[in-house]
Structure 1
């Protein structure tokens, strides 16, 4: 459990909050690359309570600005993308590549150049990688850009989709580090369920890492040996969850205190993505609405749960493992009441996650500030989830023997 004040510390992400201060030190994906087209309408985005517009000019260059025009605060989402600039329709001010102000037609001609030079514009550094558009909302120089396992793959081997989840970001992260629920919530459709079913109450071992934590779930096999699942948490946003022969990374980016983006990065470093594979069968339906895959669940009673199959033909009554997660996460409330929960032995990863976040938020606003997993501080390229069977009784040794290629 967490006291109300401690819960607020990890849940509140707006400007000036401890957690918001910490999260602003990192690059974060906020839109799919394909959604921001050259010369097309600006795309609205929001992260950490900051409304933004992202636009792409005809030459492919990007800009990211606070949604409100720095002049009279009209929405730049109403703006016109000419291909060379984004124009505010209220007074015709124009913004070019990188958000730089390039025209202020309502100023006298002799003052325009000087006025543009001194105009404070809330433009944010923006980059593109792995089919996503990333922004940096912090102050000062841009930090090093993260290099993770899926970086550098083309669209045939890496696909990113995002869902807008109507709850606080931490409960989505908690779901990712909670490996015990796989054998319950997902028992009808999780890839590798035969192995997960070896043990309903796996032994959970948590090891601190310089970038976050590694979680081992040990399920003894009936005939001897073990089925190990290894989940990696990279602070503050990322989890690499094992998917047997396939790979997936998950990124939870707060939109505000009570909404978040839930990114699913499905990738294969050896072969093209295959929608007939076990994980592919669950990701493929999300691509119908890749800019918000939760759209398929909206407006439906109980998140579209089929009550006729519930507990009989289908354990959860929800037809996609991602929708299963989303439904239970949103059902916990806009911000989960952690003071009235009752944790068990399977929740050690959840407990450790909360401590990591609380410590990181506290240190981010200390004097001097210390940023946990500071960008560029750790090599993240080789980090990924792993799932494998082994005769070894020590999960760390078994992982080393199996190799990080699993």
Structure 2
């Protein structure tokens, strides 16, 4: 369980809150690049409780500004995308992509007033089909995102996002809770798998190592970027069975790679708080050596959304759960592996009360995640860099590995940690009574 105090520290993300200030020290996804066209309509964006507006000017440069005009507070989501910048329709005040006021037609020509006016603005960097932003102190801005998938051609990756109605932390915890795959994602019958696909709309095949392994070894290993979440199971139940060793990197402030067996495609997730009770979830499917089968991955994701990236299967229709499916098709009665994830995390409520939990041995990754966030907050409050912000970390070398090894070989030996990610040993963070672990 987690104390109420610590639960608030890791879930509240507004300005001035511990987790909110922590998130503001990292580059985070703000929106998809495809959402804005040069000279097109602006886009309302809410991040970490702040109401913002994004636009792409006629030259193609992105800006992320405070939503409300500094003059009288009219929303700039209604603004004109003019040559002089994003122009308020109320009195014509205009702002460039850095927030400087470029036009103030309501003032006389001799007035210098516009030179004193500046809208809130945050830097934007495009990489991997995502527009990223940094919302923290300018003097502490880290290097721009550089993951293994951000430099891949579009043929090798598929980027999507979806709106989720709960706090980011319970979504992130679900990501590293591997035991739930044996239940929430279990298909009760074999399915024809297409190239690189982990599952189809029914869920994960009953023959997949994530669901066949009995009493797998679950472990974590601290790294400079966060930690490695490890799953060690058997390929089958015979005496000559080998080990499946699956590794998934977990990165601050709210990123994760999904574990994969050899030959499967890669999957990266980012869980970005809109506010305390809603989240943007970004999914990046990618391949390193061949073009990605986009249609296969759309089917594998099994997530259908409307024009606002809100899912069709949602809590209002009980995720279209079909109890007849439970008889012989899938365990949950819900189609789509992502829909299954959303159902279990959103049904907890907007912010789950972790002080009422009863954690077991399979929750080692969840405990490590909470400790990592609390440790990062503590480091930040002491004036030290939070975890994962060392500029020398080669983030473009991080991805999931899956290996098959003879039984008995320690996973640390069969799937060793890259020395570039070996952390300096530190003391465990002090937790309040009832803290994680």
Question: What TM bracket, shorter-length normalisation?
Answer: over 0.9
Query: 1:399 — aligned with what?
Result: 415
- Corresponding residue number in structure 1 for 2:47: 47
For the pair 1:25 / 2:20, whether they are aligned, the reply is no
1: CA distance, partners of 2:272 / 2:403: 29
Q: Helix, strand or coil: the match of 1:110?
A: coil
Alignment partner of 2:244 out of 216, 219, 227:
227
Shift in Å at residue 183 of structure 1?
A: 1.6
Alignment of 1:262 with 2:277, yes or no, is no
- Residue of structure 2 in register with 1:131 after alignment: 129
Once the two structures are superposed, the pairs formed by residues 223-302 of structure 1 within 5 Å of their partners are: 223=238, 224-244=241-261, 245-275=264-294, 277=296, 279-283=297-301, 285-286=302-303, 289=306, 292=309, 294-298=310-314, 300-302=316-318
CA RMSD of aligned residues (A): 2.2
* Matching residue of 2:215: 201
Runs of at least 4 residues off by over 6 Å: none
Note closer, same or farther for the CA distance 1:117–1:339 as it changes in structure 2 (3 Å cut).
Answer: same
Instruction: Please tell me whether the aligned partners of residues 44 and 54 of structure 1 are also in contact (alpha carbons under 8 angstroms).
Output: yes
**Contact residue 162 and residue 305 of structure 2 kept, 8 A:** no
Instruction: Say if 1:311 and 1:235 are closer, same or farther in 2 by CA, change over 3 A.
Output: farther
| Aligned residues of 2:101 and 2:118 also touching (Cα < 8 A) | no
Partner Cα distance (1:181, 1:386) in 2:
20
The answer for the alignment partner of 2:393 in structure 1 is 378
Q: Which runs of 5+ in 1 are unaligned?
A: none
Contact 1:31 1:291 (C-alpha < 8 Å) held by counterparts: no
Residue 340 of structure 1 corresponds to which residue in structure 2? 356
Deviation of residue 195 (structure 1)? Answer: 2.0
| Number of residues of Structure 1 aligned to a counterpart in Structure 2 | 397
Contact 1:201 1:346 in 2 (8 A): no
Name stretches of at least 5 consecutive residues in structure 2 with no aligned partner. 188-202, 419-437
Match of 2:198 in 1: none
Out of 382, 388, 392, which is 2:403 matched to?
A: 388
How far apart, in 1, do the equivalents of 2:318 and 2:87 lie?
Answer: 43
- 1:127 and 1:391 mapped to 2: Cα distance? 45
CA distance in 1 between counterparts of 2:204 and 2:107 reads 61
Whether the 8 Å contact between 1:187 and 1:315 is mirrored in structure 2 is yes
What CA distance in whole angstroms lies between the structure 2 residues aligned with 1:312 and 1:164?
30
Cα distance in 2 between the residues matched to 1:72 and 1:115: 15
- Please give the TM-score of this superposition, normalised by the length of structure 1: 0.92
Tell me how far apart the structure 2 counterparts of residues 343 and 299 of structure 1 sit (CA, whole Å): 26
TM-score w.r.t. the length of structure 2 is 0.86
User: Which is further off, 117-126 or 323-332?
Assistant: 117-126
Give me the whole-angstrom Cα distance separating, in 1, the residues matched to 2:319 and 2:305.
17
